[in-house]
Structure 1
């Protein structure tokens, strides 16, 4: 338990580490420091209390760095492939979206035409029913002129409905 006053270089030599590592260790352990007459930093340290094991030299890390660089290159290539695949999927999505929009427009048009046809059918059925009722209830002499007009009106309605259906 003897306290020694050492420079960073001397501390590093005792612990088999560099002077910079010794300085970092002294800061981390908050060892008391002072300045010598020649301006060098001195550290008060009890070497028996310091349990420091130096890390292996950086040679092993160079191999790891090369492996990591290779992994980064591999991952970048994989990202590029995935981006290309995503772009293809996006194009497929846009095509299908346009197709769906076109089909929806056609469906809405067909629905509107179906509704118009049902309305025309209901109106024409109403006119036919009115014409039949008139034929049954009135006498043949009164009915002839009126029925002919209604029949002409019904024929005109049928022709108009047919023309509308032909436009769509």
Structure 2
């Protein structure tokens, strides 16, 4: 525990660091400073208490920086590829979405046509049943004329339903 009074250059030499690094260390550790007669700064320091491990020279960091730059370039290229792939997937999604919308519209149209066809079929079945009932109950001339009109209406209904089903 002997306190020594050293210049920044001498402190740097003892710790294997530069004078500027020794000055930064003295400031960081809040070591007491004073001025010598020749105007140089002196630092009071107990070297046994200073635990300082010098950093590797800056030359080693240059290699690491180059590796990191290369990694950044590689990652940027990957990001660009992923963005392009995502744009392709987005286009596929939009196409399939439009296709699903078209199919849904067709399905709704087909369901409406099916419902209309079932209603027409039920109406026609009712008319056929009424005609059969009329034919069984009697064969008078009046009934025969009425049945003939109903058969004509039934034929017209069938032709109309067929035209609707054909789309025109």
2:91 corresponding residue in structure 1: 91
TM-score under structure 1 length normalisation:
0.86
Aligned residues: 168
Query: What is the rounded CA distance, in whole Å, between the counterparts of 1:56 and 1:33 in structure 2?
Result: 27
C-alpha displacement of 1:24: 2.8
Are residues 100 and 37 of structure 1, via their aligned partners in 2, closer, same or farther at CA, if it must alter by over 3 Å?
farther
Aligned match of 2:49: 49
Partner of 1:21: 21
- Helix, strand or coil: the match of 2:31? coil
When residues 39 and 156 of structure 1 are mapped into structure 2, their CA distance, relative to the original with a 3 A threshold, is farther
**How far did residue 98 of structure 1 move?**
1.5
The 3-state SS of whatever aligns with 1:160 is: helix
CA distance in structure 2 between the aligned counterparts of 1:109 and 1:158, rounded to whole angstroms = 21
- TM-score, normalised to structure 2's length? 0.86
Looking at structure 1, the residues matched to 35 and 163 of structure 2 have their Cα atoms a distance apart, in angstroms, of 109
State the match for 1:8 in structure 2. Answer: 8
Residues 19-43 of structure 1 show CA distances to partners (whole Å, capped at 9, x for unaligned) of 3322332233333345667776543
Number of the residue aligned with 1:102: 102
Mind listing any 5+ residue stretches in structure 1 that lack a counterpart? none
After TM superposition, list the pairs within 5 Å mapping 1:3-152 onto structure 2: 3-34=3-34, 41-152=41-152
**How far 1:57 sits from its partner (Å)?**
0.8
> In angstroms, what is the RMSD of aligned CA positions?
2.2
SS at match of 2:80: helix
- Partners of 2:127 and 2:44 lie apart in 1 by 117
User: Alpha carbons of 1:34 and 1:148: their partners in 2 closer, same or farther (altered >3 Å)?
Assistant: farther
